Amino acid sequence: MSEIADPASSPKTIDSLAVDVVTDDVSDTYVSKTLFAVSEFANVIAAGAKVLSGEALLCANLGLGLRLESKVDGVQHTLLFDTGPEGAIFIRNCANLGIRLGEVECIAVSHGHWDHMAALPATIDAIVAEGSKVEIHVNPGMFNERAVKLASGTIVPASLAHGVARLRMSTGPRELLVSAAAAPAKPTARVVMKTAAPARRGSPGAISAAPDR
């Protein structure tokens, strides 16, 4: 697929920014906390809860997934930065945090490693299921073929289902959210991770893209 270049634009200064950690390797009620991490139980009590009960609020995953809410000129925008490695856990954590995926306007993927983007197709599907469309921002290295090399020396290619979203690819800085009126027309792309012939070398996780038909 050919690269989709982003138009040059001057970044706007935001009025406010709130960041929620949807998934990482410490956001779990049962794991040990590093010194900089606050217990979820402490946050729940601070929010007014009197009793702790029910299932764990969040599940930890090795990787990262964030929800960012910004306000510019009084208008709120919502985006995801990475999605973590496991769709069911990412979506479950979103539900437990009260995050409505239908409000997500775009997803920015930092790089193509499994622990940062393997939940991407499931997340796209969840957004589409809520009747919304989403734009995906990636860099060209996202599409490098990757695989897992076992101790036996066997190379196993990565495989993942697909999701449908608008894809924007660039190597440089870009404005992730622009108004619908100002945004240029963008083709829809199907984001796919598929089984392929055994790769020679690589690390876990990759996706490839093909134009949507």
Q: What are the angstrom distances between the C-alpha of 205 and each of 66, 102, 180, 182?
A: 19, 26, 32, 34
Residue 5: inside a domain: no
Could you tell me if 42 and 94 lie in one domain?
no
Q: Which residues does 159 contact at the CB level (< 8 Å), separation at least 6?
A: 193, 194, 195
- Tell me how long the chain is: 213
Residue 4: inside a domain: no
Could you tell me if 100 and 130 lie in one domain?
yes
Q: What is the pLDDT of residue 182?
A: 42
Could you tell me if 43 and 136 lie in one domain?
no
Residue 150: inside a domain: no
Q: What is the pLDDT of residue 185?
A: 40
> CA-CA distance, 143 to 191, in Å (whole number)?
10
How many Å separate Cα 50 from the centre of its chain? Answer: 33
- Residues in the chain, pLDDT under 70: 1-11, 28-31, 159-166, 174, 177-213
* Average pLDDT of the chain to the nearest whole number: 74
Residue 70: inside a domain: yes
Provide the CATH number for the domain around residue 87: 3.60.15.10
Q: Are 7 and 176 in contact (CB under 8 A)?
A: no
Q: Give which of 164, 170, 172 is closest to 209, Cα–Cα.
A: 164
Could you tell me if 119 and 135 lie in one domain?
yes
Could you tell me if 74 and 46 lie in one domain?
no
Q: What is the pLDDT of residue 177?
A: 66
Residue 55: inside a domain: yes
Could you tell me if 41 and 132 lie in one domain?
no
Could you tell me if 101 and 45 lie in one domain?
no
Q: What are the angstrom distances between the C-alpha of 41 and each of 14, 63, 149?
A: 31, 22, 39
pLDDT tens per residue across span 92-142: 999 988 899 999 999 999 888 889 988 998 999 999 999 988 888 888 777
- With H, G, I as helix, E, B as strand and everything else as coil, classify residue 91: helix
Number of structural domains found in the chain: 2
Place of tokens 């299932």: 55
Could you tell me if 113 and 179 lie in one domain?
yes
Range of the domain at 114: 16-24+65-145+161-187
pTM over 0.85: no
Q: What are the angstrom distances between the C-alpha of 12 and each of 1, 68, 90, 174?
A: 30, 16, 30, 11
Residue 197: inside a domain: no
Q: What is the pLDDT of residue 178?
A: 55
Residue 104: inside a domain: yes
